[in-house]
Amino acid sequence: LNVPKIKDVKIHSDFWSRYISLVGNVVVPYQWEILNDKIEGVEKSSAIRNFKIAAGLEQGDFYGMVFQDSDVYKWLEAASYVLEANYNEDLDRKVNEVIDLIEKAQWEDGYINTYFTIKEPQNRWTNLQECHELYCAGHLIEAAVAYYLATGNDRLLNIARKFADHINNVFGPDEGKLKGYPGHQEIELALIKLYEVTKDERYLNLARYFIEERGKEPYYFDIEWEKRGRTEHWPGLIRNFGREYAQTHLPVRKQKEAVGHAVRATYMYSAMADIARITKDEELLETCKALFKDIVTRKMYITGGIGASAHGESFSFEYDLPNDRAYAETCASVGLIFFAHRMFLVDHNSYYYDVIEQILYNNIIGSMSLDGRSYFYVNPLEVIPKACEKRWDTQHVKVPRQRWFGCACCPPNVARLLSSIGKYIYAYSENELYVNLYISNEYEVDIGENKVKIILNSDYPFGDNVLLRINVKNPLAFDLKLRIPKWCVEYKVFVNGKEENNYKKEKEYVVINKTWKNNDEIFLNLITLPKRVKSHPRVKDNIGKVAIMKGPILFCLEEVDNGPNLHELFISKDSRLEIKFEEQILNGLYVVYADGYRIDEEDFGKELYREDYEYKLLPVKLKFIPYYAWANRGKNEMRVWINEI
Amino acid sequence: LNVPKIKDVKIHSDFWSRYISLVGNVVVPYQWEILNDKIEGVEKSSAIRNFKIAAGLEQGDFYGMVFQDSDVYKWLEAASYVLEANYNEDLDRKVNEVIDLIEKAQWEDGYINTYFTIKEPQNRWTNLQECHELYCAGHLIEAAVAYYLATGNDRLLNIARKFADHINNVFGPDEGKLKGYPGHQEIELALIKLYEVTKDERYLNLARYFIEERGKEPYYFDIEWEKRGRTEHWPGLIRNFGREYAQTHLPVRKQKEAVGHAVRATYMYSAMADIARITKDEELLETCKALFKDIVTRKMYITGGIGASAHGESFSFEYDLPNDRAYAETCASVGLIFFAHRMFLVDHNSYYYDVIEQILYNNIIGSMSLDGRSYFYVNPLEVIPKACEKRWDTQHVKVPRQRWFGCACCPPNVARLLSSIGKYIYAYSENELYVNLYISNEYEVDIGENKVKIILNSDYPFGDNVLLRINVKNPLAFDLKLRIPKWCVEYKVFVNGKEENNYKKEKEYVVINKTWKNNDEIFLNLITLPKRVKSHPRVKDNIGKVAIMKGPILFCLEEVDNGPNLHELFISKDSRLEIKFEEQILNGLYVVYADGYRIDEEDFGKELYREDYEYKLLPVKLKFIPYYAWANRGKNEMRVWINEI
């Protein structure tokens, strides 16, 4: 299956255009200012300055995390997507300024990393476990591929290839090469992108090498540690997290449970899925399926967040999904979308897109404030601001969103995802077109040799209507594959105004095989209703509680609408869930009203414990807003899972 | 009011005699072996060896915590109580061996502390905030008073007085003296004990000085920190916890909320209550009442545990009482008993004893294994062993109990409390006798000038019967004040077989004013029933849940009786709570049976989330055991608060 080019998908969804233009008009420019240290009162970045110093253009010391370069690369990647969708000279000029710096910071042999160039040039490649050189290289390669695909300009691509060639000379199975692999996976999926653009198989092979070498004995990270005299970049931290942290506890094919750092994990699984697809490696595909299933059926919050433990930003054990202490790092959700998308490309199942939708509409867009200027790194499902201040075990939860972070991986990761969202809407081959996300857009694609234009208008998931118009020069036969999201309670398909019942259903796709004529119109009626959702009984914090969803949209209660102490509220089992659009709230939101109760504190009195007492319940109207819109009205309580009575 | 001497109260309660003889026959001897490093496979103590080194009898280095000496002193105190109740020569010989060592380790000027003597003799009194010199001195004084009261032997008392005199020369308001106070409160209450034994007012005044100086500006702990060149004994730890940690954030009279390290807090409040009583300081008493109320009505687990946060072993904010992450340090509960007892002595209210009973029957005896050989430092209300291993935020919960600790404050603290439990049963004055705990015993006391013997037989709280016989030589008038515990649903008083209705009720005491004749018999029928208890609705983790209590006895579910995943169990609202004694379980326990349900996991299926689903409930019989007996049948799940349906 092929993935659309971003430039070929013109999104005109009211809902998504707002986010995309926010990325183009606010997020990318704002992050540019931050990378250049021009915003007061936020965490200093120094990321561009580090490049200037490494390039010999400025004097000074390196500042920031050892992986600070990756902020620049992720920005470049997002900027490239913005350029691809909507070229603008000013942004391209900024991108080229950065490319100039990267070029100048590149060593003769191809190596690039500002931390090592400035601080420890003699120690290149001596601490793969902790120092993120290959991780940063991966983000450079992703940015280079993105910029090349966006503009056709191969300047950055050549820089990246030269670095990749250097890495290929340093690492690999051949005698004299290092037998290492990254401490933070990322370069594997990047090398595959580089392979797909250049068709140079060395990059694919190097990616496979990094994947297959991982978890073997003797343990490379001990070998390099001994070799460098047992020094640590982060003393007592990364090495102490143990081998599961970076998924080096087993050879990857033996890994059947998702463990350790959730971003490292999903980036690696993404590369594994790519390799399984490209090399038709069935065993590796089965491994990927097992890992995906483990995440989605045992370790994923209903928001699409993953990584339940702040300790090592990692997966916790099965069904351990506390709401208040969730880590659910934004980047990990981005990583899970990468993984799910690649699984779809090899397995063609709607199931993967159910997960993508769930993540996208909740954890991803919820991580950003509605003005695009502040972000969550950690995405909890229950917040009591006082607990975040006072309790050590919820101090990683920062409310409301922050403007920037010392470790600023998440905001640019969201930017690069949202600016490339068009890629996720469709997939196609010689004789088929998958429609996966019902985001209004116009798309031009070659099916076989023939140009096809799709005009998609949809109000899904808030409404039920999807209208597709097909423009072709000459009638053309292909399979139109329409995804039926799992939350549809009912659906109908109409072709040119007539209900169509003569279709196959494959892996939750309606497959319409037809010779399409110009202006053929397909109407898809996808009915989703507000629903109570329960979680698996093993999830101990959710017993007796429900969450409200409509389609992929998760709702939550906020203090500003429902008063404080949200845990004292109950939703009535027999209440209707009334959804309506309210214009006056945050520029317009769909909200859900339900009947419920609030415990009468007065009636309980002042003692801490009472015998033989029933709480007195006072009827209240509960008001839920979409989770993605929470924490946009000041610091206040929020709750996804609500008691049911 | 006067407190009984331990030797005057001969306990013959089956229930309590077991604990007391465990302390005498197992705990104290076992701890002696540990203090002498004679037990393999437990945390090394070195506490006695440190004294040998400080005394010049051995070569070597100090080992252990800076407050390691206090383990020896707490052991001495417990041993003294054991001796007082039941003299035995072998134990007294061991005690005197230790006294020899302490004497030899004492400096010419009276100073004693093995850490400073061995490691930093030049730095005495330079780091009160972190280094526990005054804390250890306090425990020495408590031990000395205990040994003197037990045996009349004043050897250790003289050593302690010499040290106290030295401290009085070093600290105080006079010119040239240090204006400091302890970083860990303890010496204040010890000095008051020393004052009460010696009647030397300097000790009372010094205690008051330490209390009143606390929290004043300029901040002494900054002054000494500057003076010693900003060094830290525990870098980044204690100083970083902030001023609330050691209750130095405000002058004590302005403190109305219990905050910070829970042991430090309760030890300090105990001294404050003593001072309020002795000096008739109404303002200080009001402060104590406010603090006590804050703890008991907002910050105390139903087990009597306090300190909801592992971070700084401290109180969390009001109503923040998570069950799985509880800290509820054993020592803090001991401290709260000290505080409650002293509050009773000044305020004469049964309310304080309700709290003492609740702590004693649950957190205190539950902290020790039934064989007396292993202990909880942390006392959770909900345990999933896998979470304790895997989650960083429950790693402080160690199950099952451990044999000893690197920081071994708790086991000797329990030992000294249990071995002195007789002191808590009664209180008396010239013309009144309070009966506070219904623990079977014989007690000889002088009421006024007259010898009175009380023979108390009781099966409370498991049974309902309390029988008191009074032996007097000549008829004697005094008020007999019988405490009516708050959990009594009904009570009746019979005097010599006839129901007595002609009594006053004062602060939940039945006050029988009568001229007592020899062999007068009072029968008290105190009916307690198994009850469902709910917590204040602000306690968010307990919504929808109940705990089962009978009188002060809290019950819990264990996996060994009820299967795994205890959170999937529900107790039925209309179930009878059937209590019965079962001989075959842990040598006999009262257990509670109730009807309930278990969620059918199979019916839910393998997905993580389901729309519009109701859990299928399978009927089960629930079996509760007393909380104090949990974790005596291997590592397994435990739960106090159970879902109700």
- Measured between its terminal Cα atoms, the distance across chain A in Å is 48
**CB–CB of B533 and A611 under 8 A?**
yes
Spatial separation of the C-alpha atoms in residues A413 and B430, rounded to whole Å? 78
3-state secondary structure of A25: helix
Q: What angle do CA A342, A348, A351 make, to 5 degrees?
A: 85
CA of B152 to nearest chain A CA: how many angstroms apart?
44
Spatial separation of the C-alpha atoms in residues A552 and A565, rounded to whole Å? 27
Catalytic machinery residues of B: 313, 409
Which residues are B105's β-sheet partners?
none
Spatial separation of the C-alpha atoms in residues B589 and B244, rounded to whole Å? 42
**pLDDT-derived band of residue A24, with 50, 70 and 90 as boundaries?**
very high
User: For A559-608, how does the pLDDT look when each residue is reduced to its tens digit (9 = 90+)?
Assistant: 999 999 999 999 999 999 999 999 999 999 999 999 999 999 999 999 99
pLDDT of residue B560: 98
Taking residues B382-404, report their average pLDDT: 89
| Per-residue exposure over A283-292, b if at least 16 CB sit within 10 Å of its own CB, e if not | ebbebbbebb
**pLDDT-derived band of residue A42, with 50, 70 and 90 as boundaries?**
confident
Q: What percent of chain A has pLDDT over 90?
A: 93
Contacts 24+ apart (CB under 8 A), A388-395: A390/B309, A390/B316, A390/B317, A390/B320, A391/B309, A391/B311, A391/B316, A391/B320, A392/B309, A392/B310, A392/B311, A392/B312, A393/A310, A393/A325, A393/B310, A393/B311, A393/B325, A393/B393, A394/A324, A394/A325
C-alpha torsion angle, residues A539, A543, A545, A546 (rounded to 10): 50
**pLDDT-derived band of residue B210, with 50, 70 and 90 as boundaries?**
very high
B565's torsion region: left (phi>0), alpha (psi -120 to 50) or beta?
Answer: left
Q: Cα dist. B638→A249, A625, B384, B540, B547 in Å? A: 31, 37, 7, 19, 13
Spatial separation of the C-alpha atoms in residues A305 and B522, rounded to whole Å? 66
A320 contacts in chain B (CB < 8 Å)? 387, 390-391
Q: How many CB atoms lie within 10 A of CB A254?
A: 9
Position of tokens 């000290």? B338
For an interface test with A, give the residue of B542, B566, B571, B611 to mutate (most A CBs within 10 A).
B611
Instruction: Determine contact, residues A140/A163, Cβ cutoff 8 Å.
Output: yes
**CB–CB of A487 and B393 under 8 A?**
no
**pLDDT-derived band of residue B405, with 50, 70 and 90 as boundaries?**
low
Q: Cα dist. B64→A153, A496, B35, B69, B120 in Å? A: 66, 83, 11, 9, 14
- Nearest residue to A423 via CA among A447, A445, A453: A445
Spatial separation of the C-alpha atoms in residues B115 and B45, rounded to whole Å? 13
**CB–CB of A309 and B608 under 8 A?**
no
Mean pLDDT taken over chain B: 96
Q: Phi, psi (5° rounding) for residue A7? A: -65, -20
**pLDDT-derived band of residue B513, with 50, 70 and 90 as boundaries?**
very high
CA of B574 to nearest chain A CA: how many angstroms apart?
12
pLDDT of residue B467: 98
**CB–CB of B390 and A567 under 8 A?**
no
**CB–CB of A538 and B568 under 8 A?**
yes
pLDDT of residue B227: 96
A643 contacts in chain B (CB < 8 Å)? 543-544
**CB nearest B608 (choices: A296, A320, A325):** A296
**pLDDT-derived band of residue A406, with 50, 70 and 90 as boundaries?**
low
CA of B577 to nearest chain A CA: how many angstroms apart?
12
Position of tokens 């750092």? A261
For an interface test with A, give the residue of B528, B609, B641, B644 to mutate (most A CBs within 10 A).
B609
Spatial separation of the C-alpha atoms in residues A247 and A264, rounded to whole Å? 8
Spatial separation of the C-alpha atoms in residues B526 and A412, rounded to whole Å? 68
> What's the one-letter identity of residue A65?
M
B643 contacts in chain A (CB < 8 Å)? 543-544
Instruction: Determine contact, residues B145/B197, Cβ cutoff 8 Å.
Output: yes
Spatial separation of the C-alpha atoms in residues B459 and B439, rounded to whole Å? 8
Q: What percent of chain A has pLDDT over 70?
A: 99
**Hey, CA dihedral for A343, A349, A355, A356, is it positive or negative?**
positive
**Hey, CA dihedral for B342, B346, B351, B354, is it positive or negative?**
positive
Tell me the H-state helices in A299-425: 330-347, 350-358, 365-366, 385-390, 410-418
User: For B583-614, how does the pLDDT look when each residue is reduced to its tens digit (9 = 90+)?
Assistant: 999 999 999 999 999 999 999 999 999 999 99
* CB neighbour list of residue B290: distance below 8 Å, 6 or more residues apart: B256
**pLDDT-derived band of residue A401, with 50, 70 and 90 as boundaries?**
confident
Q: Cα dist. B636→A171, A637, B231, B378, B631 in Å? A: 48, 34, 44, 16, 7
**CB–CB of A544 and B540 under 8 A?**
no
pLDDT of residue A404: 65
3-state secondary structure of A317: coil
Q: Kindly identify which residue of chain A lies nearest to residue B614, measuring between CA atoms.
A: A534
User: For A357-373, how does the pLDDT look when each residue is reduced to its tens digit (9 = 90+)?
Assistant: 999 999 999 999 998 88
- Nearest residue to A592 via CA among A530, A536, A542, A533: A530
User: For A212-246, how does the pLDDT look when each residue is reduced to its tens digit (9 = 90+)?
Assistant: 999 999 999 999 999 999 999 999 899 999 999 99
Instruction: Determine contact, residues B380/B397, Cβ cutoff 8 Å.
Output: yes
**CB nearest B534 (choices: A386, A567, A610):** A610
pLDDT of residue A403: 75
Taking residues A417-424, report their average pLDDT: 95
**CB–CB of B393 and A325 under 8 A?**
yes
Q: Could you please report the per-residue DSSP string of A63-85?
A: -S-TTTHHHHHHHHHHHHHHHHH
Q: Cα dist. A265→A535, A601, B394 in Å? A: 24, 45, 24
For an interface test with B, give the residue of A336, A534, A608 to mutate (most B CBs within 10 A).
A608
For A453, the enclosing helix (H) or strand (E) is strand A450-458
CA of B21 to nearest chain A CA: how many angstroms apart?
33
For A526, the enclosing helix (H) or strand (E) is strand A520-527
Instruction: Determine contact, residues A304/A359, Cβ cutoff 8 Å.
Output: yes
Taking residues B626-645, report their average pLDDT: 97
Mean pLDDT taken over chain A: 96
Spatial separation of the C-alpha atoms in residues B298 and A445, rounded to whole Å? 65
A534 contacts in chain B (CB < 8 Å)? 604, 609-610, 613-615
**CB–CB of B599 and A543 under 8 A?**
yes
**pLDDT-derived band of residue A174, with 50, 70 and 90 as boundaries?**
very high
pLDDT of residue B404: 65
Taking residues A282-306, report their average pLDDT: 98
User: For B332-381, how does the pLDDT look when each residue is reduced to its tens digit (9 = 90+)?
Assistant: 999 999 999 999 999 999 999 999 999 999 999 999 999 888 889 999 99
**CB nearest B534 (choices: A390, A601, A615):** A615
- The secondary structure of residue B238, as a DSSP letter, is T
Q: How many CB atoms lie within 10 A of CB A124?
A: 16
pLDDT of residue A405: 61
Would you say residue A410 has pLDDT above 90? no
HSE value, Cβ hemisphere, 13 Å, CA-based, for B522 = 28
Would you say residue B156 has pLDDT above 70? yes
- Nearest residue to B322 via CA among B387, B369, B401, B275: B387
Instruction: Determine contact, residues A16/A357, Cβ cutoff 8 Å.
Output: no
**CB nearest B298 (choices: A316, A536, A608):** A608
CA of B598 to nearest chain A CA: how many angstroms apart?
10
3-state secondary structure A238-285: CHHHCHHHHCCCCCHHHCCCCCCEHHHHHHHHHHHHHHHHHCCCHHHH
* CB neighbour list of residue B64: distance below 8 Å, 6 or more residues apart: B44, B45, B46, B47, B50, B406
B533 contacts in chain A (CB < 8 Å)? 609-611
Q: What percent of chain B has pLDDT over 90?
A: 93
- Nearest residue to A340 via CA among A363, A321, A311, A368: A363
> What's the one-letter identity of residue B20?
I
**pLDDT-derived band of residue A408, with 50, 70 and 90 as boundaries?**
low
- Nearest residue to A365 via CA among A9, A13, A84: A13
- The secondary structure of residue B254, as a DSSP letter, is G
- Give the number of beta-carbon pairs within 8 Å between A and B: 135
Catalytic machinery residues of A: 313, 409
Spatial separation of the C-alpha atoms in residues A79 and A85, rounded to whole Å? 10
Cis amide leading into B537 (omega within 30)? no
**CB–CB of A612 and B531 under 8 A?**
yes
What residue ranges define each of the domains in chain A, with the CATH number in brackets? 46-214 (no CATH), 426-527 (2.60.420), 530-644 (no CATH)
pLDDT of residue A407: 61
User: For A60-75, how does the pLDDT look when each residue is reduced to its tens digit (9 = 90+)?
Assistant: 999 999 999 999 999 9
**Hey, CA dihedral for A249, A251, A255, A259, is it positive or negative?**
positive
Would you say residue B293 has pLDDT above 90? yes
Would you say residue B409 has pLDDT above 90? no
